[in-house]
Amino acid sequence: MKKTRLAISLLLVLLLTILTACSGGTSSDRYTLSDDVLSSEKISTYATTKTGFKKNQRIAASGLTELYFDETNFSVAVKDNSTGEWWYSLPTDFVKSADYAPCVLSLDVIYKGQRYYLDSQRDSVAVSTANSEKTENGIIVTYTFNLSLYDGKSAVYTVPVEYSLTDGSLYVSIDCANLCDESNPKDAVLVNINLLNFFGSSVKAKKNDYILVPDNCGGIIHTDRTGKDFENVSLRVYGDLTGNNAMLGAYGMKTGDSAFVSIIEEGDALATVNATAATTSAGYNKVGASFAVTETETVPKNDEKTNVYVPSLSYGGKIKLCYRFLSGSNAGYSGMAIACREQLIRNGVLSSETVESTGDLPFVVSVLGVAAINESGKTQALTTFEQLHDMLTLLKAKGFNNLYVKYRGALAGGLDQAGISGDMSFHRTMGSSQDYRELMDYASAQKIKMFFDVSYLTSPYGSLSKSHLAKGVDGRTSVRSLTNVFGAEINRNMTTLSEIEVNVVELHKLLRNNSIKEVCIADSSDFLYSDYSSGATRNEVRNEIASANLSVSSSAEVMVAKGNLYTLKNASVVSSLPTATSYPETSSYESVPFIQTILHGTLDYSCEPINYTENYKDEILKAIEYGALGEFEWCYDAPDTESSESDETAEASEASKLADKLSYSTWANEVYAYYAKGNMALSDLRGARITDHYQVKAGIYCTEYGDTSIYVNYTNKSFEVQGVTVPANDFMRIN
């Protein structure tokens, strides 16, 4: 009997070991990356649309939109009958000097460190390996690529692209489940799919033509005035561990009185949006998306070589784009934003509910609790419970009647918050439980919303057990490095996919045990990562985070920082939403309120903390122009700025300036004057949709909410409009 039990026990241990090994992540192969990209040298005759499409090539119609297919070059075109505009998947002109020839689809493959580029026109259509099959609302075009590898082996990739016309919109999708032939060498890995990157592209731009990209708030590339020095734009959707510059997967193009906007409905977490100008070596004005179906990692090996890590895990879901076509007054970035909003609500990404426009406009105060105040990591309590009570009392007395408080660094660990656990508590220097109760009672009585800043995806570096550490493609633990406002470096580890749900359960306990009714989720919506220790792509982590945020919203009202779109369902506030692009603005590249137009009326959003900007008055005007709540980051006690004799005078001066920027008492009176005026003009527009935004003339902008217009004047001279004077460096509401 004892031997039988022992045998069963050993068998169970062995089985558990096998199961653990099977679920213990994804291995990666490391190669020395070649500097060369190999591709066919021949130039395909199928790379352009040389003639217009004919009636007999029409394969579908919906509303005022028609879909055409060319059996010669296996490309499609869309005709918008409201304007007569044609949108071609291939350009009508060919630029020999361009980096890449036009194609409907292209693939990037890595084989033992050697990179290959495959072009649908040259490597499939020209060699007669493309075919098509008509469907009820469109067509499926299948491209087969036969790749000859450098060592004599070969690999085959079969990519079906489905086009469907529904409700006047073009849907384009690829099922990534079986793209690689089973007989392919395992080292021949399909890395990127570039889909319809030449859709609507051109060699020459008309006056006032531009490309829209999702750079922070939104950026437009004026293709009619780009020069050779223009910097082509590349934006990773939802960002990565280094930061965020695209909070949604969408882009568009305006030409004449027509425009299109493309929304990435599936595969968005894999996407990078790329836009180029014809004046550069790219040769074309174009915008499109590249999808990293296999996420690689490059690491410098030495001064001359680079290692590339290629995992065995690839994305097996769908890539899906929705193209919507706009004309007339809707053919601009505002119309594109409105079309995006409609599509996001239809897909359940955004709520269809609107903000209640009653009472005063909220004012967002980001309050620093405990923080490391210098490079050595020395921490200081900057705003205790009792001090925050005093601060709020003063702000209420000044007239700030609707306060949203984002309390940062109140939990154990301060700004470098300790990992979520069952015994999570407030930082010991925050004050007594009595101080906390008095603060919360006051906030409740004054209807102040107290959003406690909490992180559930990350923990301080070195604090997580190995089994809870997310790993990147190269097998190393995933670390996010940040620098706080005082110059202190903060390194945080990402948690594994399986631990996200566990952490959310602990977060629910924290909220319940401390009677917290509002929470700011600090680390879920301004970056995204994959977890190869759990065998999870960015797409799977994205879905888990979206579910986690929804779960938290069942216990408390949710504010999110920044605002990746998949985290916003059931959120009520987005804090620190950018009002500028990550790429520098130039005469041919400028910021526009694209994401603000999508969100306004659905939820509240604030600008980034105004007190950190060089010209805070302009930033206040920018918030008004973009329909944003004002946000300031303050503390009660200025950080210690004593300098030793060896300190540089300039460093001491900078520390003193920072202390002034953070002192709430320095700002309260002047800020209230702006808040009061903004509150009077904008409070009843919180639930309204932005219907248009445009530049009136240099330095003067208009944001429209139906029949109401907000004019913002950044110039030093007054401006007359509709018989009303908009003062210099000020704004005016006109109904």
> CA 105 to CA 289: how far, in whole Å?
11
**Structural contact between residues 292 and 107, judged by C-beta atoms closer than 8 angstroms:** no
> CA 292 to CA 189: how far, in whole Å?
11
The pLDDT score that the predictor gives to residue 17 is 34
Query: What ranges do the domains of the chain cover?
Result: 33-40+48-346, 363-687, 691-735
DSSP assignment of 458-515 equals EEETT-S-GGGB-B-TTSSBPEEEEE-TTS-EEEEEEBPHHHHHHHHHHHHHHHHHTT
Q: Give buried/exposed letters for 384-398 (b at 16+ CB in 10 A, else e).
A: bbbbbbebbeebeee
Helix (H) or strand (E) holding 518: strand 518-521
Q: Which residues pair with 493 in a beta bridge?
A: 459, 479
**Structural contact between residues 230 and 277, judged by C-beta atoms closer than 8 angstroms:** yes
Residues of the chain with pLDDT under 70: 1-25, 641-652
Q: Which of 393, 396, 44, 324 is nearest to 166 (CA)?
A: 324
- Sheet containing 28-32: order of strands: 28-32, 306-311, 297-300
Q: What angle do CA 306, 310, 312 make, to 5 degrees?
A: 165
616-625 vs 664-682: helix axis angle to the nearest 10?
30
CB atoms within 10 A of CB 299: 14
- Sheet containing 85-88: order of strands: 58-62, 65-70, 75-80, 85-88
The conformation of residue 685, written as its DSSP 8-state character, comes to: G
Is 363-687 the same fold as 33-40+48-346? no
CA dihedral 143, 122, 32, 541 (to 10 degrees): -40
> CA 509 to CA 523: how far, in whole Å?
18
Instruction: Give the CATH class of 363-687.
Output: alpha beta
The pLDDT score that the predictor gives to residue 323 is 98
Quickly name the fold that domain 33-40+48-346 has.
Beta-galactosidase; Chain A, domain 5 (2.70.98)
